[in-house]
Amino acid sequence: MLKSFKIGGVHPAENKLSASKAIEVLALPKTVFIPVGQHIGAPAEVVVKKGDKLMVGQLIAKSSGFVSANIHSSVSGTVKKVETGPDTSGYPKMGIYIDVEDDVWDEQIDRSTELKSEINLDSAAILAKIQDAGIVGLGGATFPTHVKLMPPKGMKAEILLINGVECEPYLTSDHRLMLEHGEELIIGIQLLMKALNVNKAAIGIENNKPDAISQMIKLAYRHTNISVVPLKVKYPQGGEKQLIKAVTGREVPSGALPISVGAVVTNIATTFAVYEAVQKNKPLFERVVTVTGKSVKNPSNYKVRIGTTISELIEAAGGLPENCGKIINGGPMMGKAFANTEIPVNKGTSGILMMPEKESKRSETMPCIRCSRCVSVCPMGLEPYLLMTLSEKQIWENAENEKVMDCIECGSCSYTCPANRPLLDYIRLGKGKVGALIRSRKQ
């Protein structure tokens, strides 16, 4: 029997429409807008000014603190202005506008496609390169990778887990990376293992990607310390805690980090970025984005420069379908709707999903019928119906006691609710309020 996490989980329709489409390189945009806050933590500090000439891969904003990340120019050209611009949330965010001229890359970047497999650097040097390249978790959470690779004092990583699950419906960017850049990924895994000083790694891949599983098994064959673990298809297996449970059987305690059970999880796209940063000196300035949707003419996977507006991606995939009701940043389960199409692709954009109006519309909310389906699907073992009620009634202390902060916002509860109750919306609100309460207590 295939491994999986034990409690909860749902199985939404997979709809991996672009799984067979090879990664295409999107044409260079005319202008880009690169926000300086593309990661969790403090926004980076701008180090360029209006009129500066830039090369591809040049540092344009410097990390401003421990939990922060560098940002590099994704194009060559001139800085048009340093100003606020649109963000997924609709709130303006500081960023850098660049007019694109040619495609001149920084000379230090190795642009050859040749595989560079020997690892000459030591752990500290690898970490420094990852930090310099501004690599963050590309699965969507955008947590700076170098922070993750430096376990707090007294804790030791034992195993590196590579998240090739891609449990969100529609998304296929990690799947394609595994198929097309498997060798690079294996080297990336070795680099991460060396940086973390662990001698064991496992790649978790869901069983709906048999080609990726066989490809990775074939490539990992020569490396006895890297194993490939096929997993049963179940959402949200790509959640850190769920993946650890599925692959190692260990359970991360409430409120603790994965490192407390000796595991560090990185995503496939992040691992690929680590390979490029360390072996090819290439900072993180482009990523693979799945552009998909049921009515989209040509669902595809594109390699996109950070800062390209999503409208260009949509145009490349055959334009906005007529019946489109919502454009989602990421997958349908956890993704957030874009407020408009002038928003740039950032490090956390794993997919752009255009939902038909009929599917995107929420149905009428009805009273809770106490069927407890939300309780049975919650992968964190919480009681979503109760958390929602507490949030609605603004009883934050009780919500805290009911472990609202453990919620991973996977949306399984809202997905499964037969009364269409907006469970996650209220729980997320509660998380915000309780989080603020905990912070105020600490001060």
Instruction: Name which position in 50, 111, 218, 336 contacts other proteins (CB under 8 A).
Output: 336
Give the residue with the Cβ less far from other proteins, 294 or 326: 326
Residue placing its CB nearer to other proteins in the complex, 163 or 349:
349
CB of 360 to other proteins, least distance (A): 8
Out of 20, 214, 365, 372, which residue is the one contacting other proteins (CB under 8 A)?
365
Told to check if 249 binds other proteins by CB under 8 A, we report no
173-192: contacts with other proteins (CB under 8 A): none
Calpha distance 105→305 (Å, rounded) = 13
Least distance between other proteins and beta carbon 274 (Å): 32
Q: How many CA atoms lie within 13 A of 37 on its CB side?
A: 15
Contact call for residue 340 and other proteins (CB under 8 A): yes
User: Is 134 or 411 the residue whose CB approaches other proteins more closely?
Assistant: 411
262 sits near other proteins (criterion: CB under 8 A): no
Task: Work out whether 422 is an interface residue with other proteins (CB under 8 A).
Answer: yes
* Interacting span for other proteins (CB under 8 A) from 149-157, 166-174, 374-382, 425-433: 425-433
The reply to whether 442 sits near other proteins by the rule CB under 8 A is no
Q: Is 360 one of the binding residues for other proteins (CB under 8 A)?
A: yes
State the nearest-atom distance from the C-beta of 258 to other proteins, in Å. 26
- Going through 207-261 in order, the beta strands assigned E by DSSP cover 226-231
DSSP per-residue codes, 78-141: EEEEEEEE--TTSS-EEEEEEEE-S-PBPTTS-------------HHHHHHHHHHTT-B-TTTT
CA distance 16 to 169: 6
In whole angstroms, what is the distance from residue 224 CA to residue 190 CA?
A: 12
Nearest to 31 by CA among 106, 111, 95: 95
Q: Are 237 and 108 in contact (CB under 8 A)?
A: no
DSSP for 148-160 reads HTSPPTT----EE
Contact flag: residue 40 with other proteins (CB under 8 A): no
Instruction: Provide the β-strand partners of residue 10.
Output: 235
Region of 95-103, 123-131, 403-411, 427-435 interacting with other proteins (CB under 8 A): 427-435
Q: What's the rounded Cα separation, in Å, for the pair 98 and 101? A: 9
Identify the CA nearest to 174 among candidates 38, 290, 9, 306. Answer: 290
- Evaluate the omega torsion of the peptide bond into residue 321 and state whether it is cis, within 30 degrees of 0: no
Nearest distance, CB of residue 318 and other proteins, angstroms: 22
Count of Cβ atoms closer than 10 Å to residue 17 Cβ: 19
Under the criterion CB under 8 A, does residue 432 sit at the interface with other proteins? yes
By CB under 8 A, residue 393 contacts other proteins: no
If binding is defined by CB under 8 A, does position 426 make contact with other proteins? yes
Residue 40 Cα to chain centre, angstroms: 11
Among 91, 112, 255, 322, binds other proteins (CB under 8 A): 91
254 belongs to the binding site for other proteins (CB under 8 A): no
Q: Which is nearer to other proteins, 272 or 426 (CB)?
A: 426
Q: Is 362 in the site for other proteins (CB under 8 A)?
A: yes
Among the listed ranges 90-98, 190-198, 297-305, 344-352, the one in contact with other proteins (CB under 8 A) is: 90-98
Q: Please, which residues have CB within 8 angstroms of residue 167's CB and are 6 or more apart in sequence? A: 206, 233, 234, 235, 236, 237, 238
Q: Does 428 bind other proteins (CB under 8 A)?
A: yes
DSSP string, 8-21: --B------TTTTS
Classify each residue of 177-215 as buried b or exposed e, where b means 16 or more C-beta atoms within 10 Å of its C-beta.
bbbbbbebbbbbbbbbbbbbebebbbbbbbebbeebbeb
| Residue 356 binds to other proteins (criterion: CB under 8 A) | no
CB of 441 to other proteins, least distance (A): 19
Nearer to other proteins, 220 or 355 (CB): 355
Q: Does 438 bind other proteins (CB under 8 A)?
A: no
* Distance in Å, CB of 306 to other proteins, minimum: 21
Among 49, 50, 92, 156, binds other proteins (CB under 8 A): 92
CB 189 within 8 A of CB 226: yes
Cα separation, 39 vs 138, in Å, equals 10
Q: Does the footprint of other proteins cover residue 386 (CB under 8 A)?
A: no
Residue 429 found at the interface with other proteins (CB under 8 A): yes
In this structure, the number of other CB atoms found within 10 A of the CB of residue 65 comes to 12
The nearer residue to other proteins, 356 or 422, going by C-beta atoms, is: 422
Instruction: State the residues that interact with other proteins by CB under 8 A.
Output: 88-92, 326, 336-337, 339-340, 360-362, 365, 422, 425-426, 428-429, 432
